[in-house]
Amino acid sequence: MLLQEMVAPGISTLELDRAAEDYCKRKKANPAFKGYRGFPGSLCTSINEEVVHGIPSRKRKLKKGDILSIDFGVCYKGYYGDSAITVAVDKIQKSEEDLLCVTEKSLERAIEKVVVGNRVSDISIAVQDYVEKFGYSVVRQFVGHGIGTALHEGPEIPNFHIGEHTPRLVPGMVLAIEPMVNIGTAKVKVLRDGWTVVTADGKPSAHFEHSVAVTEEGPMVLSRRQYQGKNNFSFQEN
Ligand code: MG
Ligand code: MG
């Protein structure tokens, strides 16, 4: 909510990063990405055709019409949480509003499948089927993951179908489910900074993520936010 309120034309991604890190430290939590395999930021900030792992920078200022993916992981009392949203910077094109809506809804479809006895593949299929219905593509090269006392644990949670032989969901597992959805090709590449992942065709991409516990009572979203923010677009399912 802090970050969503801050997002506006003219603000740099480094300012967002600093705000997140300061807040996190005030709450006695540690930013999980900072230093992870050498990543320099506390947030991943990925704009427009950037899919994930964008590096916060003083030079990178948000512009009206951008879409910004904010990914944040923290460690609190030995346990990790990981969550992402994509937000509009001021007014964006309708095509990008739709991309954001579909990606977020695909995550909700996936969460509904977090039921004891289901398989990881049920989550993957839920994302892929929903997204492809709208002509979008899901990124193959990066996937969701288990999460707990480490940021990235097994099992992998692909956003596309890899066959039925995937782990069964059992109570106590926590899954970071994170659809990465592109308007154009599913193909991505990594920029020379060694981190920033961009779409191969330069078309926009969106990313939403929640950390979800598997319980006997159904999915428990650990990263649910009260704040709905500014992403209140009108979206027609058909
Ligand atoms: Mg994340
Ligand atoms: Mg993650």
| Ligand 2 centroid – CA 189 distance (Å) | 18
Centre of ligand 2 from the C-alpha of residue 70, in Å: 11
CA distance 231 to 238: 19
- On whether residue 183 sits in a domain, the answer given is yes
Nearest-angstrom CA–CA distance, 80 and 96? 31
pLDDT confidence of residue 230: 59
Provide the number of structural domains found in the chain.
Answer: 1
pTM here is 0.96
Neighbouring CB atoms inside 10 A of 93's CB total 12
On whether residue 162 sits in a domain, the answer given is yes
Residue 140 · residue 191 · CB < 8 Å:
no
**Domain-embedded: residue 229:** no
Please tell me the predicted confidence (pLDDT) of residue 236: 72
Whole-number Å distance, alpha carbon 111 to ligand 1 midpoint, is 16
Interstrand relation of 137-138 and 67-76 (parallel, antiparallel or unpaired): unpaired
- Cα(143) to centroid(ligand 2), Å: 8
Span from the CA of 216 to the centroid of ligand 2 (angstroms):
23
> How many Å lie between the centroid of ligand 1 and the Cα of residue 118?
23
For residue 83, give the ligand nearest its CA: 1
Q: Which residues surround ligand 1, an ion (CB under 5 A)?
A: 71, 82, 84, 209
Query: Which ligand is in closest contact with the Cα of 147?
Result: 2
Does 62 reside within a domain? yes
pLDDT at 228: 63
Mean pLDDT of successive 10-residue stretches along the chain, which has 238 residues: 91 98 96 96 98 98 98 97 97 97 97 98 98 98 98 97 94 98 98 98 98 97 79 70
Is residue 231 situated within a structural domain?
Answer: no
The alpha carbon of 85 and the centre of ligand 1 are apart by a number of angstroms equal to: 9
Is 211 contained in some domain? yes
Helix axes 94-112, 120-133, angle to 10 degrees: 160
Half-sphere exposure (Cβ direction) of 237: Cα atoms closer than 13 Å = 4
Does 230 fall in a domain?
A: no
pLDDT of residue 2: 83
pLDDT of residue 188: 98
Ligand 1 geometric centre to CA of 151 (Å): 9
Is 208 part of any domain? Answer: yes
Structural domain boundaries, residue 187: 2-221
**At 196, which CATH number?**
3.90.230.10
